[in-house]
Structure 1
């Protein structure tokens, strides 16, 4: 048998090197909570300019931590965005670049499996989308000690499902009944988001005495498209709360109530960490999986959900991929700071590895943004890349190239002066277009 002592010594040496570069000590290894909304836009939060929907708790996270203004989702739709987040590879290098069916092969290296190997308790709630029951892709085969929520992506579009999954055990919700299309609720008793929150809090309580990683991939404010067509309201929520008397269409009341409900639960999560004396030992990330949707009869323009950005979900303009990112870590991140560092979902894996003292895999596209969080010198990406159904986009510093379909000309925007991508500068800068075309080709794995 080969001794693993040299490996352990090497790991310690690497960890010490990481601590030297970031200023972290071994005892500072934090709990990590990564909260992700579903289809929330760059402009849906008060701290990003929202004027109508109330998000006081998320806004307070920004006041107590760091708010990123140049952060990008892994993709413009759900499944590939989650794939990018977990693997640290952008969509030019992942097996899928659209919402096609995909199951993780067993024992894939992900941020979760790496943290588990380092001794973290690993838990997740919400939408999984990367492996159905009895497949190799279920969370329990991908580094999760505990999972509660949806496994199949399509089922996650119904907020009153007949069942959810606890690891690989089906949990019946007998008060909920759906119609023949399986996405239209005809009897409603248990709102799935509330169960997800309960299980997330239970996981925190159960692991309060050890380092833990919690992935809370919530399903709101995604639309229930089938329910919208059937009932006229595709934004399922138990009550409209502060918005019930507004003279708005029902879907807009529902959308606002969903966002505020999620905000309420983020506040409750922070209170739980305070109660357990874990607040200073825990780093919280909050983001969205892609840009805002225009589904379930919700209109992006109603609340200006994409803020100053062009486009929305399924676009590779900024509105489809630029998302909020707020990070709070008391006593480590300077409160009330704003960062314009250009980062993306594929950067989370190396960031989490650096937080935990792990050497990240070699074959990733991400760069840890922990130095930025700690106010230190931060390495930047040369380029960032996305692709979706024949569309491609590449950012290189201030320049953004977008191709809206096969055979379409490459558009060019200066995001420093034109965040709304209103002035196509391709004709004025053919040399930049040519260079970015080469970088787009180089960003994609050979078929």
Structure 2
């Protein structure tokens, strides 16, 4: 029995789907028969599947850069499945993560609130775990979909709640009927962990680990089971088991994140089961491991798309692939070899686009346009409104979320609402803020709340190399005014400027 309260009840048939069935039948007796059949997976068939709200599979890579995929310009690492996904779907060229590091980015993704409004605004670490946990009043994408009749699951890395002081954020308290993976993000550094969690029960694994700290982090000295292999198997099982009802799968991979502890101890944080096609390359092992992680990830996505086709689910499943922030440099690998940020400046922990602009590929045969590229500017927070619209649900109040359904369905650009501003902040090494205005003008403030805005014109300068604030003082002033009011107060996340002002 679980020792934590969990809200995992989810009706098999949403009100929207039920009313659709009633509308289609001629008599009350037939209506009751249809409803009973809909409740029983044994009576489901492809025609019933095609008429319900779409399944949603949200695949999140960890620390994958804008330039890490072939379809985004990668020349060294092979990603044939994701490249094919882009050819068969829609590729975004200006899509942004919620933050430049893990936990706040995922908080934005789940809550539909931008970085200055969402619950978790930084990586709190072990010293203040409750600051990195969602709370009962937070409404997530999973909760909205669960209440709309979706079967929901989180497989992989969570990072927004843990046992102990952070139990308010456990996944099953926020709309996930099923969970398998890592609760603690430092635990997730180790790709061969000693244990994982299934719901709130600890599952022991045969890996032998040298622990570093008390939260599951460390590195394997006997590496038997690779966590992301287990997650891929679990994701496939979930899709097959729930094919007769609408489902939402949040598949949150750990690769290609580094094992930071292993890097410090053994100088190689890219531990994988094998180096795959890179085994014979004349590269250092960290480079082979980094490339192998990305190609392995690509293989997982290929398995999922093939399963959806085989199960007759492809035409009724939206699959979205993206990354939680920009690329890392923490495996001791050579960034110059892979150019993971592509034409952008910066990496993870930067507020330039290299730290926050990420790949986004959407695939939904028969619905999402094929082989199309869009420059529509969007970000993680938009997934809540998008999922709500697809499910026929209401977007929760007080969100910073705009549905992407018009763009996903290839409708004219005039039908797609846009954000005036996107917002980010960063709490490490002195508070910093950034905003994107009108999809073009990037403003960054560091040092103090009175500091001048560094302004970049992304249409002319995608690498953000030239500060043009002096040429466009009105735009810099507009962004500065926005930054002054963009964030709500949070007792857990008070700005601490490097210049000493608050």
- State whether TM-score is above 0.5: yes
Q: Which residue of 2 aligns with 1:391?
A: 432
Taking the aligned partners of 1:61 and 1:167, their CA distance within structure 2 comes to 31
> Following the alignment from structure 1 to structure 2, what is the Cα–Cα distance between the partners of residues 96 and 145?
22
What is aligned with 1:434? 477
Question: Take 1:39 and 1:315, find their aligned partners in 2: how far apart are those partners?
Answer: 13
1:408 deviates by 4.5
8 Å contact from structure 1 (residues 31, 282) kept in 2? yes
Q: What is residue 164 of structure 1 aligned with on the other side? A: 196
Matches of 1:396 and 1:216 in 2, distance apart?
31
Of 404-413 and 349-358, the range deviating more from structure 2: 404-413
- Within a 5 Å distance, the mapping from 1:301-320 to structure 2 comes to 301-320=336-355
| Structure 1 position 89 matched with structure 2 position 113 | yes
1:32 equivalent to 2:53? Answer no
Q: Match of 1:258?
A: 293
User: When the two structures are aligned, how many residues end up with a matched partner?
Assistant: 429
Is the contact between residue 162 and residue 178 of structure 1 (CA under 8 Å) also seen in structure 2?
A: no
Q: Does 2:181 correspond to 1:149?
A: yes
- Cross-structure match for 2:420: 382
**Equivalent residue for 2:257?**
222
Residues 29-88 of structure 1, C-alpha deviation per residue, up to 9 Å, x if partnerless?
210000000000000000000011000000111000100001000000000000000000
Match of 2:453 among 386, 410, 413: 410
* Residue-by-residue CA offset, 1:101-124 (whole Å, 9 max, x unaligned): 322213631100110011000011
Aligned equivalents of 2:287, 2:191: Cα separation in 1: 17
Point out the more displaced range, 437-446 or 305-314: 437-446
RMSD of aligned alpha carbons: 1.9
1:40 touches 1:292 (CA, 8 Å); kept in 2?
Answer: yes
Q: Quote the Cα distance in structure 1 between the aligned partners of 2:91 and 2:355.
A: 19
- In the alignment, is the contact (CA less than 8 A) between 2:193 and 2:207 conserved in 1? no
Q: Which runs of 5+ in 1 are unaligned?
A: 1-7, 14-24
CA distance in 2, matches of 1:96, 1:315: 18
Structure 2 Cα separation of the partners of residues 179 and 445 of structure 1: 38
- The one of 181, 189, 193 equivalent to 2:224 is 189
**Which residue of structure 1 aligns with residue 271 of structure 2?**
236
Report deviation, 1:175.
3.4
Equivalent residue number for residue 110 of structure 1: 140
CA deviation map 1:137-187 (0-9, x unaligned): 111111111110000111000011100001111110023333455412221
Partners of 1:56 and 1:269 lie apart in 2 by 14
Q: What is aligned with 2:92?
A: 68
Judged with a 3 Å threshold, the aligned counterparts in structure 2 of structure 1 residues 107 and 212 are, in CA distance, closer, same or farther, namely: farther
Contact kept, 8 Å, 1:300 with 1:306, in 2: the verdict is no
Q: The residue matched to 1:298 in structure 2 has which SS? A: coil
The answer on whether the counterparts of 1:176 and 1:190 sit within 8 Å (CA) in structure 2 is no
The DSSP-based 3-state class of the residue aligned with 1:184 is strand
Structure 2: how far apart are the matches of 1:378 and 1:35?
A: 24
C-alpha separation between the residues in 2 aligned to 1:159 and 1:316?
28
1:221-268 deviations in whole A, cap 9, x for unaligned? 000111112222110101001101111121111000000000001001
1:323 & 1:229 partners in 2: Cα distance?
Answer: 27
Q: Identify which of 104, 123, 147 aligns with 1:99.
A: 123
Q: Deviations over 1:114-136 (max 9, x none)?
A: 10011000011111011112512
Larger relative CO (CA 8 A, sep 6+): 1 or 2? 1
Contact 2:434–2:444, Cα closer than 8 Å, also in 1: yes
Task: Show CA shifts across 1:281-323 (max 9, x none).
Answer: 1100000000000112123322000000000100100000000
Report matched runs for 1:350-361 at 5 Å.
350-361=385-396
Tell me the SS of whatever aligns to 1:323.
strand
Q: Residue in 2 aligned with 1:346?
A: 381
1:292–1:300 Cα contact (<8 Å) kept:
no
**How many Å separate the matches in 2 of 1:179 and 1:432?**
51
Deviations 1:191-235 (A, max 9, x none): 111011111111111101110000001000000111112222110
How much has 1:28 moved relative to structure 2? 5.0
TM-score by length of 1: 0.93
Contiguous gaps of at least 5 residues in structure 2: 1-14, 21-48, 491-502
Does the CA contact (< 8 Å) of 2:178 and 2:199 recur in 1?
A: yes
Which segment drifts farther, 221-230 or 67-76? 221-230
* More displaced 10-residue stretch of structure 1: 156-165 or 172-181: 172-181
CA distance in 1, matches of 2:114, 2:332: 31
Bigger shift: 136-145 or 173-182? 173-182
